[in-house]
Amino acid sequence: MSANSKAPNIRRLALDIVSRCLDATDGEGGYSNILIDSAMRRWDLPDRDGALLSWLVATVLERRITLDHIISQLSSRPAEELDPGVMSALRLGICQLRYSDRIPAHAAVNETVGLVRPSARGFVNALLRAYLRKRDRLSFPGPGDAGYLSVTYSVPEELCSALGDAYGDVTAESILKAYLRVPALTLRTNTLRLDRDGLIARLAARGISAEPCADSPCGLRLAPGSGLPDEVNDGLAYVQDESSQICADVLGAGQGDRVLDACACPGSKSFYAAIAMKDRGAVVSCDVHASKLPLVAAGAARLGIGIISTVCRDSSVPAPEYAGAFDRVLCDVPCSGLGAIAGKPELRYRAASRIAGLPELQYSILSACSEAVRPGGTLVYSTCTLLPEENGRVVERFLGTHPDFAPDPFRRGSLEAPQGTLTILPDQVRDGFFIARLSRRTGAGS
């Protein structure tokens, strides 16, 4: 931001980002983390303002259904009759009043009123002040009541039911609780340059606390509230959730291997494989979006990796030139993202629209890329979602039509997959993930 630029209104920025995430008619609105990062760079926001912007956006998105339940009890007008901008402003105001112990009530009310057009200010002011008077007398559904999980954890009832059908009510509620956690910043050490203990010691010398990840041999988790350390910009580490690291580790890449990463962007699993290979061999990183591939190339350069090449291609279509050419193939396919909701809260509201058609695409990618695996080689299928129709059922269908592949059991740390498949449920420290490792039988044709 230039010296002559006017400082932005942080709440107005938050309102704009929330509206773009929630009000898209096609169910594919902006991603909050990308929009927040863009706003912070554009305005060169100081840390305090950036933290407030991030908190406001994340909390409104995480709690939208709960906030709407509250608004419905305070407003004489049905929510569907309210202007979308007014509705978003009300969510923003009540979010501050209900979930922040640092923002004074008068500031939350006054600042929110100032966000709406003059003709709506009286209504917004009255509703927010009604909340302050009645907040201890509001009603919420209790356990066993219709809508309890949805209102309590701010997740659409359709998704609550899907998780309940897949995992049972108790585990489903545990998953929903995990969706409300504040994601920790997790790094993968660049062991081309130093080991994990060395990185932890380097961070500690600068007052940054970190601890090793439980099931990823090169991962570490920073203390809550830690910002992005200089070590990432310096190429000594990169950001990668522990579950994603475990997936890349299960691929088992070693020195001299040829590895195909079929849906690579933004590149973290390609980086993991290349580092595990000690930068010896070849990693081909593919993506259907050419505009994303420079992120992979830039990340590899920052980390000092020289064996990654990028290719723009649709991995759901077989590539004859790749037939039998790779030792290890990773299909981390497009999915509904339901394991990663803690970091992308808007995904909870898009689940139904995102799931339609995904299993067919996922199967097509897995089938097409399986042709690239050499006899005796390894094929890994993974998602960051939790629904059986995107996970186990895709693998079962594939095995039923590809008799030259078989499940390949594995174990990583405390996680064991005796049947070759593993579902990692989201918890307080990592995202949800599904991993299946398959091997191509020796003697299979290429």
Span 13-63, pLDDT tens digits? 999 999 998 865 344 557 898 899 999 999 999 989 999 999 999 999 999
pLDDT digits (tens, 9 = 90+) for 147-198: 999 999 999 999 999 999 999 999 999 999 999 998 889 999 999 999 999 9
pLDDT of residue 78: 85
φ and ψ of 424, to 5 deg: -100, 115
pLDDT category at 2 given cuts 50, 70, 90 is: very low
**What pLDDT sits at residue 52?**
95
Q: Known catalytic residue: 384?
A: yes
Query: Residue 444 — very low, low, confident or very high, per pLDDT cuts 50/70/90?
Result: low
% of residues, the chain, pLDDT over 90: 87
Rounded average pLDDT over 229-248: 97
Query: Which domains, ranges and CATH numbers included, belong to the chain?
Result: 10-139 (1.10.940.10), 249-440 (3.40.50.150)
Place 271 in a pLDDT band, splitting at 50, 70 and 90: very high
Q: Which of 160, 263, 369, 384 is catalytic?
A: 384
Phi (first) and psi of residue 204, to 5 degrees: -60, -35
Task: Please tell me the predicted confidence (pLDDT) of residue 137.
Answer: 96
Lookup result for tokens 């309890």: 148
pLDDT of residue 79: 81
Where residue 352 falls among pLDDT bands split at 50, 70, 90? Answer: low
pLDDT over 90 (residue 227): no
Mean residue pLDDT across the chain:
94
- pLDDT score for 356: 82
**Residue 1 in this model has a pLDDT that exceeds 70:** no
Number of other CB atoms surrounding residue 321 within 10 Å? 7
